[in-house]
Structure 1
Amino acid sequence: MPGNAEIINSGLDRIVAGYVFPERAAEADRAVRARLAAGEYDALSGAAFCAAVTTHLQEACPDKHLRLLWQDEPRSVEPADDDKGRAAFLALMRAENQGIRRSEQLDGNIGYLDVRWIPDAGQGARAIGAAMELVTHTRALLLDLRGCRGGSPAGAAMWCSYFFPDDEVHLNDFFERSTGSTRQYWTLPYLPAPRYLDRPVYVLTSATTFSGGEDVAYTLQAHGRAEVIGEVTEGGAHPTDRHPVTEHITVTVPTARTVNSVTGTNWEGVGVQPDRAVPADKALETAYGEVRKRLM
């Protein structure tokens, strides 16, 4: 079993080589190596060790995706296979009904969708379309992302596309450090269900809404297409690679950054700021009350 110094060295090497902001990676590297030299990790192991290093990484470089993760079950230390990683994500999305937990028509003909994951735009398209088909004739929509933990940027763009009239809305860009390239995301020209236009949309958030869920909330809010009700979200905007360090420890390294076409920035470290801040467990009640008044 590698010692703490070897684990930290390996993890920091990955961060310095791949993190989307090289200058911040260098700051995190210096900060954690100074703590290592001071013996701050000598008495730590397992989950406590990973938590301490993660805290220090994020103190030096505020990024919720930058982490040293502990997993109780041992995993292979072979380099991550992109195809296997994608296959595992697609399998998870199938098991999770492409992230769609619940669809309902509330009193007053208000649509409600509970979305827990943002799926792949290809395999998730039919499920997203089916969910949108069920609410297509409602007078307003409550999109509940309070339990959404992330997913695919392309899937987020597909979800957002339903709320715009055509394929001419530039949603955001993704800059990739390794290639120096930028990928643009626009609304899609074709969708498997009718678009949801000219009706109110409310997005519900919690302090644990993360990553892909934040993407949808932030994008719809920035483009003036939805109001966000709930809590400030967790604040993770950077697409991330995972690298095994030991059988129980993985370092996660953000390798790209999101740039919204309206704000010129993203929600990293600050979260999506709600238009109406209420506790997460009151968000549905609050949004439902507001939309009923709005439609009267």
Structure 2
Amino acid sequence: MLTNEHIVEQALERITAGYVFPEKATVVVAAIRARITAGAYEGLEGPELCETVTAHLQEACPDKHLRLLWTDEPQSLEPVDDDGGEAAFRALLMAENQGIHRVERLEGNVGLIELRRIATAIDGASAIGAAMQLVAHSTALVLDLRACLGGSPEGAALWNSHFFGDDQVHLHDIYSRATDSTRQYWTSAHLPGPRYEDRPVYVLTSATTFSGGEDVAYTLQAHGRAVVVGEATRGGAHPTARHAVAEHVLVTVPTARSISTVTGTNWEGVGVVPDIAVPADQALDAALKAVRP
């Protein structure tokens, strides 16, 4: 049986090897090893260990993607099976309708799409296209991201592409530490559903909205394509890999960072700031009031 010290050290090795900011990784490792020496993790059960280490990680480096997570599902510790959590994420999306929780037509011919996850561009394309087809003839659209917990950068770019007229919009870039390269994200030339042009779009956010959901909200807001309504979001802008460090413990390591082509920065640590600030449970009413003043 792995000791807590061994589990934490395995996590630190992953952070050292992959964290997008190597200089910050050095600070994190020193801080956590000081905690190990002080006996901070002795006797902690799995979920409590994860919560405690996560708090210490984020105290040393306030990156909300830098976490230790407990999972009830046993994980393989074989290196050949380590795919950064991709297979598990794709299985989750399949079970959750590619992140699309509901699509409705509201009074006044206002379309509503609620997303809980951002699917991958490949697996989610048909579902994304179907959702956009159902709201194609609405006069305004509400994109509800209040419970969206994140997802795929490629999927976020695909969702965003539907709200622009062509494939000539440079949405944002992502710098990857692993390849020391920057990938550009542009609107797509070919989409699985109809484009939603020249009509108002309102994006609903909450303090729960995170990561890929924030990507959609921030990018549409920055490009002047949507009005964000609700609360400031959680503030996680770094694409992340997940690695098993024990049978029931994962470490999440931010391996890249987003860079907006409009602002030159991202939403890390500050969240997406709404254009219309209201409590999350009032965001839909506020958006509909803006649509139908």
Interval of TM-score (by shorter of Structure 1 and Structure 2): over 0.9
CA RMSD of aligned residues (A): 1.6
Shift of 1:246: 1.1
Identify the residue that residue 93 of structure 1 maps to in structure 2. Answer: 93
Measure the CA separation in 2 of the matches of 1:3 and 1:94. Answer: 35
Question: Pairwise mapping of residues 1-296 of structure 1 onto structure 2 (< 5 A)?
Answer: 1-79=1-79, 81=81, 85-293=85-293
Measure the CA separation in 1 of the matches of 2:235 and 2:179. Answer: 25
Any idea what the Cα deviations from partners look like across 1:156-206, whole Å, max 9, x if unmatched?
Answer: 101101111111110111111011011110000111322111111100011
Higher mean displacement: 82-91 or 137-146: 82-91
What is the identity, as a one-letter code, of the residue corresponding to 1:38? A
Measure the CA separation in 2 of the matches of 1:194 and 1:40. Answer: 55
Are residues 176 and 80 of structure 1, via their aligned partners in 2, closer, same or farther at CA, if it must alter by over 3 Å?
Answer: farther
Are residues 19 and 204 of structure 1, via their aligned partners in 2, closer, same or farther at CA, if it must alter by over 3 Å?
Answer: same
- Structure 2 unmatched ranges of 5 or more: none
**Contact 1:15–1:253 (CA under 8 A) maintained in structure 2:** yes
Measure the CA separation in 1 of the matches of 2:14 and 2:83. Answer: 20
Measure the CA separation in 1 of the matches of 2:165 and 2:82. Answer: 35
Any idea what the Cα deviations from partners look like across 1:233-282, whole Å, max 9, x if unmatched?
Answer: 11111111111111121111111111111111111121111111211111
Higher mean displacement: 277-286 or 89-98: 89-98
Measure the CA separation in 2 of the matches of 1:95 and 1:72. Answer: 17
- Structure 1 unmatched ranges of 5 or more: none
Shift of 1:43: 4.0
Measure the CA separation in 2 of the matches of 1:83 and 1:186. Answer: 26
**Contact 1:203–1:228 (CA under 8 A) maintained in structure 2:** yes
Query: After TM superposition, which residue ranges in structure 1, 4 or more long, deviate above 6 angstroms?
Result: none
Identity %: 66
What is the identity, as a one-letter code, of the residue corresponding to 1:197? E
What is the identity, as a one-letter code, of the residue corresponding to 1:248? H
Are residues 232 and 11 of structure 1, via their aligned partners in 2, closer, same or farther at CA, if it must alter by over 3 Å?
Answer: same
Shift of 1:82: 5.9
SS in 2 for 1:185: strand
SS in 2 for 1:245: strand
Measure the CA separation in 1 of the matches of 2:101 and 2:160. Answer: 18
SS in 1 for 2:251: strand
Any idea what the Cα deviations from partners look like across 1:9-29, whole Å, max 9, x if unmatched?
Answer: 211111111100001111111
Please, what TM-score do these two structures have when normalized by structure 2? 0.95
